[in-house]
Chain A
Amino acid sequence: MVSKRFVAKRLLLLGPVLFGVATVVFAILHLSPGDPAVVIAGERASQDFVEQIRSDLGLNDPLWQQYLRFLHDTVTLDFGQSYQVRQGSDVSEILADRLPITIELAVLGQIAGLLFGLPLGIISAVKKDTLTDHFSRIGALTGISVPIYWSGPLLILLFAQILGVLPTSGRIGSTYFIDSTTGFILVDTLLAGDMAAFQSAARHLLMPVLVLGIYSMAFISRMMRSSMLEVVRQDYMRTARAKGQGAKTTIMKHGLRNAFIPVITIIGIQFGSMLGGSVLTETVFEINGIGTLLVSAIHGSDYPVVQATVLVFAFMYTLVNLFVDITYSILDPRIDQ
């Protein structure tokens, strides 16, 4: 049962949080030392020209007016035009091109993390304090400790350069031309019915997803382990065993379901590091998502792009967490109290 009151409360909270997020982004950009007008006009432009651009952009208006205009633009998803990364293009257009790429990567990374992390955590808990447990715990902690910008290049070196079995970078082989319908390359190649292209895309995604997946696997298995250990101690587990149910059945039927609930919250928080990790992964594997977009926009002082990208990242993160909280409340109705 979804508690309508809980969902309504969470939705109501969403407004102030998003408002706060937008305010922080506005503040950061206005504290930045660069002058947008100079960025657009170029270093050698005349003073008059720079002044002209400044008044066109409304940079001479009082701060509160600029702030209100910014809020209005954000709500109407009008992020202006890019100064530098793709000069003159609408930022929302650039984002529409690039956002699916990052979402695809982060979601697949999260799925990979769950596929490996959940079983690992369960095994670790069931075999607590055995060699298996120690190995999987240290393995998980190693997974979080190894930086993506080290493991990624090493994987490229091994699989692409030395063994030559996987492609180095990019999203698909250069011989394939796939129309972008959804923006998700795996979906688009399937829609085009081109299996060879699909395979190529999948092979390109393998290493980036693996690198991101290891990271989230580590967190998820750790959480699953401690949650499982917590559940095993509960009275209902003993009751089930006392009724004559086997150890395995008890764990599968009663343990898993209950242990999984707290892990769900971690998935939401974890998605934040998937997004942060995607910046690094995209940089390492030269993927044109919004992560690399943000980095090059910051380097090029492309303020409208920086602003929109950071907002989109924060909005995505907030929405995923909202979704996770609602799922949680469905699985565990006690949360409402």
Chain B
Amino acid sequence: MSTETQSSTVERSPIERLRASPFLTELLSNRIAVIGLSLIVGMFLVAIYARFAYGLDAIVDTQFGENPTKVGPSSTFWFGTDGQARDIFPRVLYGAWYALKFGTATVVASTVLGITAGIVAAYYGDLTDNVIMRTMDVLLSFPSLLLALALVTIFPDSLGLWRAVIALTLVYTPRFARVVRGAALKVLEDEYIEATRALGATDPRLLVRHVLPNCLAPITVQSTLNYGLAIIDIAALSFLGFGAAPGDPSWGMMLSEGVEKGLFSGAWWWSFFPGLFLALTVLGFNLLGDGMRDALDPRMRDAVD
């Protein structure tokens, strides 16, 4: 309650421009969502900076001779150096690029596949619906990380982190399909769909122009929450040895090497900083997703008197 009144009086002018979108207004007045959004924007900036400021080869190569091995954080090496004498700071920043690149690929791919499957199932119904959704049910019967582990084995090592992306895309698609199908079924019941059809709209046009836009809200929430999950799962697969190659500046790989070779011999910084950045990124998406869900559900706003 207090949050909303406060922000709407204090920050009226910038928000007023967004009045057209009650969802955005609601989201921006939700402090938790704003914290999450700031974390994500910050991480994207870090990722873009690292991508253009550092050469990937220099970051991957061992740096024996140039740097001392396994020294703690200092003014020269902010996050210390690792067992290959590499400066950990630029590697951790570059890790943001890796995480967001592969995370985005996973989320975009599973969202697109899920939307297609969900809308097609809802629209055509009957046998199509049954075949698609029962397949999704079967995929959902596996604990997600375990299905991803099994799927990763199908693809050759040379694909690197893309293996994890493909496997996790297949794992996440059913969740989107379910959400979208539910939302689409609701939209399809509306009268204006009947009216549009009577006006002669073709199937694809009806789906893309009318059904899809009306399902966007639940899809956005699901995508945001899944973004964090994708990043944490990609890193988990790398940690278990399926994905990034040794030396890659991905947080999962750095964690794996740092825990195995550094943590208990005193080099805590080796795994600490990659883990911290990973957790902050995932937290950003979870905070934003949670805030979005509240903003979309007006009933959640002032439940208790």
Contact = CB atoms under 8 A, between A and B. Distances in A.
A328 interface: no
Interface string A6-21: 0000000000110011
Interface string B246-266: 000000000110010001100
A233 B300 CA distance: 10
A128 B264 contact: no
Interface in A228-246: 229-230, 232-233
Contact of B154 (A23, A28, A134): A28
A175 interface: no
B32 interface: yes
Contacts of A125: 304
B141 A314 contact: yes
A20 B300 contact: no
Q: Is the interface of A mostly helix, strand, loop or mixed?
A: helix
A119 interface: no
Contact of A145 (B150, B228, B241, B299): B228
Contacts of B3: 129
B142 interface: yes
Interface in A218-259: 222, 226, 229-230, 232-233
Given A138-B287, A233-B303, A310 B146 contact: yes
Contacts of B278: 147, 150
Contacts of A145: 228, 232, 279-280, 282-283, 286
User: Which of A153, A229, A230 has the most C-beta atoms of chain B within 10 angstroms of its own C-beta?
Assistant: A153
Contact of A33 (B134, B150, B156): B156
A24 B134 CA distance: 13
Nearest to A25: B150
B94 interface: no
Given A147-B232, A279-B149, A129 B2 contact: yes
Interface string B126-167: 000000001101110111111101111110100000000000
A335 interface: no
A112 interface: no
Interface string B264-305: 100010011001101110110011001000000001100110
Interface of B: 1-3, 31-32, 134-135, 137-139, 141-147, 149-154, 156, 228, 232, 235-236, 239-242, 255-256, 259, 263-264, 268, 271-272, 275-276, 278-280, 282-283, 286-287, 290, 299-300, 303-304
B240 A280 contact: yes
Q: Which 6 pairs show the lowest CB-CB distances between chains A and B? A: A276-B145, A150-B275, A20-B138, A145-B283, A272-B143, A145-B282
A83 to B, nearest CB: 14
A28 B241 contact: no
Contacts of B255: 147, 149-150
A59 interface: no
Contacts of B282: 144-147
Contacts of B279: 142, 145-147, 150
Interface of A: 16-17, 20-21, 23-25, 28, 31-33, 125-126, 128-129, 134, 137-138, 141-142, 144-150, 153-154, 156-157, 161, 168, 222, 226, 229-230, 232-233, 272-273, 275-277, 279-280, 283-284, 294-295, 298-299, 306, 310, 313-314, 317-318
Contacts of A23: 138
A23 B3 CA distance: 52
Contacts of A129: 1-3
Nearest to B233: A276
B304 A295 contact: no
Contact of A317 (B141, B228, B268, B271): B141
B241 A313 contact: no
Given A145-B286, A157-B268, A314-B141, A137 B240 contact: no
B271 A229 contact: no
A313 B142 contact: yes
B264 A295 contact: no
A9 to B, nearest CB: 14
Given A128-B304, A273-B143, A313-B146, A20 B137 contact: yes
B141 A32 contact: no
A279 B240 contact: yes
